[in-house]
Amino acid sequence: MGNIFVIARATNGLITRQAFYYLLLFILAVLIYMSQTLVLFAFSYEANMIREMGIATISLWGLIIVVVMSQTIVTAELEDRTAVTLLSKPIKKSEFLLGKLFGVLLSIFFGVLFLTAILILTIWDYTHAELFEGTGFIDAYKGGMSIVEFTYRNFFIPHAFVILEGAFLSFLQCAVLSAVCISLAAFFPMLVTVATTMLIYILGNLSTYIKVGLGKADSLPLTAIGNFFYYLLPNFGYFNLQTAFSEGNIISFKYLLFASIYGVIYIAIVLTIATAIFNRREIR
């Protein structure tokens, strides 16, 4: 466990020392805050659109970091023989892959946390005047409701909690994609890893539609192909609930638990297969 922690910390440091990391974070934070100016004609759905665009931006952050950094820190170390020195020590290849994964996820987590805070502040900046200057607050205050309770009911429940759930599911999606990308990077060149990861991301978001579409073809082979890829590919639809988030619906704890278990199981399967193959590979 100590080796995994050391590799994870070194990997996180390698990623967060890159200027690209902070430049991307700054650009996406500005985009989230400036989204207020893009919803002027949304006909009372402005806050919903800001929230939806913000959660999509958080997912984009994770995708870019996974694709750009994951394959770099694995493929580059294997190609420049840094991994040879590392693996010559009493470090298992499974610890190498797990350490890389946790390091990437740690760097993604800090970015998700920052962008989530920016999104909550953006929603607050856009809605607080309407919340407290309207008759709703005056009536609630006259009825004995405190400012804290009013804010909790009218901001945190319909906005902040939904954003936190969306950010959590986005992080889970990034975790699954990171496991896939790092596993691929241990065996394939950089361009192949990037292209395959992007393809898996796209198909993973469309897997349910592909399965249903091929199932309607009234062809047993096509149905079998649809089912095969549906269960083989990660179903990112479990982590992408934009309709619910855009409408401000709170996702149940049971569903969040299900999504978490699905993500952990898929990551475990991917890393187990990758480790089994990686153990047979001779690093030179």
Q: What is the CA radius of gyration of the chain?
A: 22
pLDDT band of residue 38 (cuts 50, 70, 90) is confident
Q: What's residue 282's pLDDT? A: 61
Q: What is the mean pLDDT of residues 220-230?
A: 77
pTM, two decimals, is 0.86
| pLDDT, tens digit, 9 for 90 and up, residues 128-177 | 766 666 666 556 666 666 677 767 777 777 778 888 988 999 999 999 99
Q: Quick one: pLDDT at residue 252?
A: 82
Q: How many CB atoms lie within 10 A of CB 160?
A: 18
| Residue 19 C-alpha from the chain's centroid | 21
Specify the pLDDT at position 89.
Answer: 61
Q: Cα dihedral sign for 56, 59, 61, 67? A: negative
